Amino acid sequence: MAEEPKETKPGFQNPVAGFGVTFKAMFKKRLTEQYPEQQKTTAPRFHGRHQLNRHPDGLEKCIGCELCAWACPADAIYVEGAENTDEERYSPGERYGRVYQINYARCILCGLCIEACPTRALTMTNEFELADSSRANLIYTKEQLLAGLEEGMVDTPHSIFPGTDEQDYYRGLVTEAAPGTERQVAVSKGEKPTEEGVGA
C-alpha cells in the first residue's frame, strides 16, 4: 500500500524562513578588500611569477636542459640551450639557457616546471599582478625573469670560482664571488632565437 504524501508547511512560513538568512547576513561585518589601494598579502608558498635564480657569485643556475618546458602542461615555456666556453661562461656546467621565455597568456601557474628543475634554477615568487594590455607583453624573456644581482655578485658571463667545478656549485660550496672576478665580454648576446615568441 502506497504511503500518503506528507502535508507541507503553510505557504506563509516558507518566505519567512528564506528571509531569515538575509536578516542574519545584514548585521555581519562586511569583508570588503580595498584592492588595489591596499595590496593583498599572499601565502608564503603562493604560486606567482617565475624567477630564474643565480649562484652566490652571480652565475646562472639554469643549465638549459629544457626539462621545465617538457613538464609544462600548457606548453608555455620555451628554452634554447647553448654551450658555455671558458671565454664566455654563464653557468657552472657545460650548457646554459641562452633563450628562456614564459608565455603568461598560457601559463596556469601549476608549478610543475619547478618540480622538474634539477638545479633549483626556476622558482615562483609571490608576484601575482601579471595583467597587461598586449599579448606580446605577456611573453616574459630571460632578462625579465632573471633574479637581480645581490651584493658580492658579478653579472654573467664570468669564469667559475678558481679551483672548483660545477659539482661544488650544486653542493653549495661556492658562497661568494672570487676576489677580482670580472665580467667577461658577451659575444653571443646579439644572436636572435630561432623561434619568435612561444606557442605560436
What are the sequence ranges of the domains in the chain?
48-174
Nearest to 142 by CA among 93, 106, 80, 100: 100
Q: What pLDDT was estimated at residue 200?
A: 44
How distant is the alpha carbon of residue 28 from its chain centre?
38
CA-CA distances (angstroms) from residue 7 to 2, 13, 122? 15, 14, 65
Beta bridge partners of 110: none
Q: How many degrees, rounded to 5, is the angle at CA 140 between CA 114 and CA 196?
A: 110
Cβ count near 154 (within 10 Å): 20
CA-CA distances (angstroms) from residue 111 to 26, 46, 74, 175, 197? 40, 10, 11, 27, 21
Torsion of CA 27, 31, 36, 38, to 10 degrees: 100
pTM of the predicted structure, to 2 decimals: 0.76
Beta bridge partners of 123: 51
Q: Mean pLDDT for each consecutive 10-residue tract of the chain (200 residues)?
A: 58 69 81 83 89 95 95 96 93 94 95 95 93 93 94 93 92 92 82 50
Grouping H, G, I as helix, E, B as strand and the rest as coil, residue 57 is coil
Residue 35 corresponds to which cell in the numbers above?
Answer: 584592492
DSSP H helical segments within 67-198, as ranges? Answer: 67-71, 112-116, 142-145, 166-170
CATH of 48-174, picked from 3.10.20.600, 3.30.70.3270, 3.40.50.720, 3.40.50.10190, is 3.30.70.3270
